[in-house]
Amino acid sequence: MKYVRFEAQGKIAHGVLAGEIIQELAGDFFSHSDLTGNQYKLAEVTLLAPCQPSKAVCVGVNYRDHAAEMKHELPKEPLIFIKPSTALNNPGGEIRYPAISHNVHHEGELAVVIGKTAKHVKAAQATEYILGYTCANDVTARDIQMLDGQWTRGKGFDTFMPLGPWLETELDPHAAAIKCLVNGQIRQSSNTGNLIFRIPELVEFITQVMTLNPGDVILTGTPSGVGPINIGDTVSVVIDGIGELKNTVVAG
């Protein structure tokens, strides 16, 4: 099932996408809402990020090939950091290139969307707390990341967390092809089967530290091929079984 968050006719709503038709929900995805009976054509609405996380917990160096290109040793446990909620960006939204950076990179990722409050969750029960999956771009000011030696500032700029285009509830998250394209040219191409730490492990690890709220996301890491994006570029993250997240880069 595909859940969408969208704007139409001056209001923001949630719905279920079937083909090219959105069936509106009375509430949101997290409250098991009934359908209102209102329908919208997908082409006639503006898609929004499918959730509004209070935080995004991101996993660094979680593909073996990416660890090699970044000259990192394989981590012994997940390396996590947080993107602020203010970094959220919509499908079709503009990534603003900050004036204080000269080396902004794309990082295509699979995002896990949490469906209910999760604290001290064991890996065996992790799927009970996951509502679904979406595409993400962990946009990074690489020069600032390297300068600081920690990652908050380089990854925390406004617009640096595009999510979308929708939330897919039925996906094998460990067998999905993932690509990132810039202006139609493939930059990253891998499969989520290459994750070092699988999603149940990540849920257990993270929830021993902090509570995950409904709508929070886990960005599971990026494969090899990260590289620069420039003003005027179009960046797409494509995950089989989900869809395409597309954004353009503009001056910040």
The pLDDT of residue 75: 85
The pLDDT of residue 72 is 75
Say whether 49 sits in a helix, a strand or coil. Answer: coil
pLDDT of residue 37: 95
* Residue partners of 68: CB distance under 8 A and separation at least 6: 224
- Mark whether 189 and 233 lie in a shared domain: yes
The pLDDT tens digits along the chain (252 residues) read: 999 999 998 999 999 999 999 999 999 999 888 999 999 999 999 999 999 999 999 999 999 877 777 777 888 999 999 999 999 999 999 999 999 999 999 999 999 999 999 999 999 999 999 999 999 999 999 999 999 999 999 999 999 999 999 999 999 999 999 999 999 999 999 999 999 999 999 999 999 999 999 999 999 999 999 999 999 999 999 999 999 999 999 999
CATH number of the domain encompassing residue 10: 2.30.30.370
Asked if 122 and 200 sit in the same domain, the reply is yes
* DSSP string covering 95-142: EEE-TT-S-EEE-EEEEEEE-S-BSS--GGGGGGGEEEEEEEE--EEH
Give the domain extent around 21: 2-48
CA distance 45 to 55: 26
Q: Is 193 helix (H, G, I), strand (E, B) or coil?
A: helix
Q: Is 17 in a helix, a strand, or coil? A: strand
pTM for this entry: 0.96
Cα angle 245, 147, 57; round to 5: 40
Quote the CA–CA distance of 28 and 51 in Å, as a whole number.
9
Q: What angle do CA 138, 144, 150 make, to 5 degrees?
A: 75
User: 173 with 120, same domain?
Assistant: yes
The total number of structural domains that make up the chain: 2
**CATH code, 165:** 3.90.850.10
Give the model's pLDDT for residue 74. 84
Statement to judge: residues 168 and 197 lie in one domain: yes
Report the pLDDT value the prediction gives residue 73, as an integer from 0 to 100: 80
For 175, the 3-state DSSP assignment is: coil
Same domain, 127 and 12: no
SS3 at position 74: coil
| Secondary structure tally for the chain: helices H, strands E | 4, 20
DSSP-based three-state secondary structure for 160: coil
Question: Quick one: DSSP state of residue 153?
Answer: H
Q: Which of 10, 27, 48 is the last residue of a domain?
A: 48
**Scanning the structure block, which residue is given the tokens 């923001």?**
12
Is the same domain home to 88 and 190?
A: yes
Residue 103, both tokens: 């080396």
Are residues 28 and 68 located together in one domain of the fold?
no
Confidence at residue 49, expressed as pLDDT on a 0 to 100 scale: 98
**Whether residue 107 sits in one domain with residue 17:** no
The confidence score (pLDDT) of residue 52 equals 98
Answer yes or no: do 28 and 60 share one domain: no
Q: What are the φ and ψ backbone dihedral angles of 5, each rounded to 5 degrees?
A: -115, 130
DSSP character at residue 146:
H
Beta carbons of 247 and 93 less than 8 angstroms apart? yes
- Residues forming a β-bridge with 18: 21
Distance CA 6, CA 91 (A): 10
Instruction: Note the pLDDT of residue 68.
Output: 75
Residues 83 and 188 in one domain: yes
Same domain, residue pair 37 and 112: no
Query: Do 60 and 117 reside in the same domain of the chain?
Result: yes
